[in-house]
Amino acid sequence: MSISDDPFDLGREPDESPSERPGVPVRADAPYLRALNDKQREAVEAMDGPVLVLAGAGTGKTRVLTTRLAHILATRRAWPGQILAVTFTNKAAREMRERIGALIGGVVEGMQWLGTFHSLGAKILRRHAELVGLKSNFTILDTDDQIRLIKQVMQAENIDEKRWPARVFAAILDRWKNRGWSPEKVPASEAEGFARGRGIEIYKLYQQRLKTLNAADFGDLLLENLRLFQDHPDVLADYQRRFVYMLVDEYQDTNVAQYLWLRLLAQGHKNICCVGDDDQSIYGWRGAEVDNILRFEKDFPGAKVIRLEQNYRSTPEILGVASGLISANAGRLGKTLWTEADKGEPVTVMGAWDSETEARLVGDEIEALQSKGRKLAEIAILVRASFQMREFEERFLTLGINYRVIGGPRFYERMEVRDALAYLRVIYQEDDDLAFERIFNKPKRGLGDKALLTLQTTARSQGTSLMGAARSLSATDELPAKARTVLAQLVQSFDRWRTAAASLNHVDLAEMVLDESGLTDMWQNDRSPDAPSRLENLKELVRSMEDFETLAGFLEHVSLVMEATEEAGDNDKVTLMTLHAAKGLEFPIVFLPGWEEGLFPSQRTMDENGIAGLEEERRLAYVGLTRAKEKAFILFVANRRTHGSWQSAIPSRFIDELPESMIERRMDEHSGFSTFGTGSRFDGQESFTSAYESPGWRRARAAGGFDPRRPVTIDENAELVATSDPRVASYAIGERVFHDKFGYGRVRRVDGNKLTVEFDTTGEKRVIDSFVKRA
């Protein structure tokens, strides 16, 4: 086999040593290199040995990553199949694939090792599944399955679920796995807190159950890789040889398990390039260790560290405000972002009376921007927590502003979709008891807890799966005749579907299963108002399967990606999402609402992680600000509703940390603040500050000795709250009303301030009277 002239030739053995492919000198004026600045270029051309690129927000990180990949390929230092490129999210992986594709064309198809940690971990695990006690078609459990399984284990161990909830243990287990701890490695001190120190025991039993179910959870995708590499050095050596170059995106977000995985794999060629920004580390709650980035030079001796500090995204004002904010953090590697961009507008800080007003202000501002010719697609609203989205949605519906929510409730998590998927999972992998359990009486077949218990006992005594137990039980008389018949029918159906799966394509199979299982009928006969949309979702599920070659591929996608394929049509819409979801994106105009103590920074994070938690929140604020290219708005309110009751709030400490010279403070005149202050913001700087000194807030501070971390519920404000909520006269039964979200409807029942309304489109709902208007 001779080396082809085409540097992107795919027909190469991936195991060739790099020496067989001498690098081809690339002209210094190669177009893709010319487009880079000096630092970026240095990062692209530093090919040998470990490299750490500290890339500040907006400094062209993705461009460096993709160009570096293209450069490796163009200089023939490695074939596409010899490059491991790993990202944190599916979105990032997709984007990288697209951008490399744009740079080098179809060769990107050969990059079979570009993906998220989890998808690559799963890929490797499937290849060697038998070495860790799994079969290659193992199921990947999601959090829901995981909790159900933990619950079962704990039940069998007679652990009081009330006292020690399974979901709590799931979180602990997740943390352990993120740290790379197998049951033997969990320090005893860690396990003391849960179920009188029986945590490790539960962990072990849980892992045993996973093996019998032929399943792995998210953490296992990496942990089992580590075990595989440790127990089978030959397998590890193979991958070490294979991955000539390694690239890691968002390195600051890696957890210990991922770090160990990378370190093992990098020992071969040692050509590992990690790109990250310690100031954008926002996943500590999920096990990310900023330490990984801080100790890079220690772990990879001789590492070259390159800093990217020229920002191409934002105005000097936005950059200045963001830098000023983040400088309040202590543990940083330290970078100074600079820009050549022209002076822009200051960052606007706005206060509002309550969250409803906040949404109104943003809505008004958006309409103003629109009339200035800005597109809705240029605007994003980034919130700390998804519950904040509701009020914006309602406001936008009223104003007729188109919007899109990123990361809302996920398609594959809907009940009806999960049920359908469970059928497919059982067909594909018969030992998937969790899926079997989910649907063995869905639609209702007259099988219940008793039948399940018998199945489980039989399965355990025979050492088989529930399906196996069902099979043998249909031949004995342990179950009542009726249940036995029904069960036998179910087993028969699955046998039939499995046979069909061999010859039928997976889309037709899914249609057949939906039809014959009775799931479709079940929803067709359902009279509840959301039944039609559930049916529609099932259709959509079948449609989405068409994008995949095989059932296996589809199921893998569902468990690893969890998001439906994006809807077509790039309409002009405002984007509404969480700050976490916004990382890596940019928008000309960004709104950052909800900057109040307790919400942002989040009380819970501070309670759980103290100063470290606070610093992570601050980084989150930094991420939010640096998403903006031209203009950023920060908002806070004096009153926010949590769990139904109004709570007064004080502005986030982050607002005090913004450099005064680059911000503009603006009060909403109808917010109620203006009545406290000496005047509106428009005649001077100090009036705003005096709003902080308003009687309400002064009392708020006095009340709790001013603990800024804990918003105080102030009774003195009660009457003010009441005035913001004008009493609406009660409605009469039969009256026509209008609701922002549900549209027109007719009042059916009145319960104090709660109305039962039959909405024309969405059916009967219970709503609060102040949420509807007379039609």
Partner DNA sequence: GTCCTAAATTTTTTT
Partner DNA sequence: AATTTAGGAC
Measured between alpha carbons, how far is 307 from 278 in angstroms, rounded to an integer?
12
Residue 304 or 765 with smaller CB distance to DNA? 765
Question: Of the two residues 702 and 768, which places its CB atom closer to DNA in the complex?
Answer: 768
Catalytic residue among 177, 395, 583, 627: 627
Shortest Å, Cβ 630 to DNA: 25
Per-residue DSSP letters for 635-688? EEEEEEEETTEEEE--B-HHHHTS-GGGEEEEE-TTSSSTTTSSS-GGG-SHHH
Report whether 465 contacts 459 (CB < 8 A): yes
The HSE-up count of residue 353 (CA atoms within 13 Å, CB side) is: 19
The catalytic residue among 41, 61, 640, 665 is 61
Please pick, among 250, 289, 596, 616, the residue that the annotation labels catalytic.
250
Nearer of residues 465 and 605 to DNA, judged by Cβ: 605
Can 765 be counted among the known catalytic residues? no
Query: Nearest to residue 707, comparing CAs of 638, 650, 666?
Result: 650
- Asked whether the beta carbons of 658 and 325 are under 8 A apart, the reply is yes
Nearest CB to DNA, comparing residues 189 and 645: 645
For residue 108, what are the contacts with CB-CB under 8 A and spacing of at least 6? Answer: 80, 97, 100, 101, 114
627 assigned to active site: yes
Distance CA 621, CA 292 (A): 22
| Residue owning tokens 């920060």 | 634
Least spacing, CB of residue 338 vs DNA, in Å:
30
Binding site for DNA (CB under 7 A): 88-91, 116-119, 143, 161-162, 165, 167, 174, 218, 285-286, 384-387, 407, 441, 444-451, 483, 560, 562-563, 578, 580-581, 602, 604-605, 608, 642-644, 754, 766-768
CB of residue 666 to DNA, shortest distance in Å: 27
Provide the CA 79 distance to its chain's centre, in angstroms.
32
Taking CA atoms, 634 is separated from 431, 627, 655, in Å, by: 52, 13, 8
Asked if 62 is an active-site residue, the reply is: yes
Nearer to DNA, 324 or 594 (CB): 594
CB of 367 to DNA, least distance (A): 27
How many C-beta atoms surround the C-beta of residue 369 within 10 A? Answer: 17
Strands across the sheet containing 736-739: 763-768, 754-759, 743-751, 736-739, 772-774
- Distance of closest approach, residue 52 Cβ to DNA, in angstroms: 23
Nearer to DNA, 436 or 676 (CB): 436
When the beta carbons of 291 and 526 are compared against DNA, the nearer one is 526
User: What's the rounded Cα separation, in Å, for the pair 471 and 530?
Assistant: 36
**Cβ closest to DNA, residue 167 vs residue 773:** 167
Q: List the catalytic residue out of 142, 174, 224, 249.
A: 249
Taking the C-alpha atoms of 720, 725, 726 and 729 in order, what is their torsion angle to the nearest 10 degrees? -140
The tally of CA atoms less than 13 A away on the side-chain side of residue 603 is 13
Per annotation, catalytic residue among 16, 62, 291, 678: 62
What are the residue ranges of helices labelled H in 109-255?
117-127, 143-156, 166-178, 188-191, 199-212, 218-231, 233-242
Q: Which is nearer to DNA, 89 or 717 (CB)?
A: 89
CB of 616 to DNA, least distance (A): 8
Q: Is the backbone peptide bond immediately before 443 cis, with ω within 30 degrees of 0?
A: yes
Radius of gyration of the chain (CA): 29
Structure tokens at 347: 């960052």
Q: Establish whether 250 is a catalytic residue.
A: yes
Q: How far is the CB of 606 from DNA (least distance, A)?
A: 9
Q: Taking the complex as a whole, how short is the minimal distance between the CB of residue 211 and DNA, in angstroms?
A: 20
* Shortest distance, position 740 Cβ to DNA, whole Å: 12
**For residues 484 and 471, is the Cβ–Cβ distance under 8 A?**
no
Least distance between DNA and beta carbon 495 (Å)? 23
Q: Are 304 and 51 in contact (CB under 8 A)?
A: yes
Nearest distance from C-beta of residue 117 to DNA, angstroms: 6
How many C-beta atoms lie closer than 10 Å to residue 229's C-beta? 20
Cα separation of 767 and 775, whole Å? 15
| Sign of the torsion formed by the C-alpha atoms of 596, 598, 604 and 608 | positive
* Sign of the CA dihedral running 673, 675, 676, 677: positive
Point out which residues pair with 749 in neighbouring strands.
756
Q: How many residues does the chain have?
A: 775
By beta-carbon proximity to DNA, the closer residue of 13 and 536 is 536
Structure-token pair, residue 277:
């920004």
Burial of 498 (0-12, 13-18, 19+ CB in 10 A): middle
- Closer to DNA by Cβ: residue 174 or 277: 174
- Nearest-angstrom CA–CA distance, 228 and 108: 28
Q: Active-site residues: which are they?
A: 61-62, 249-250, 280, 627
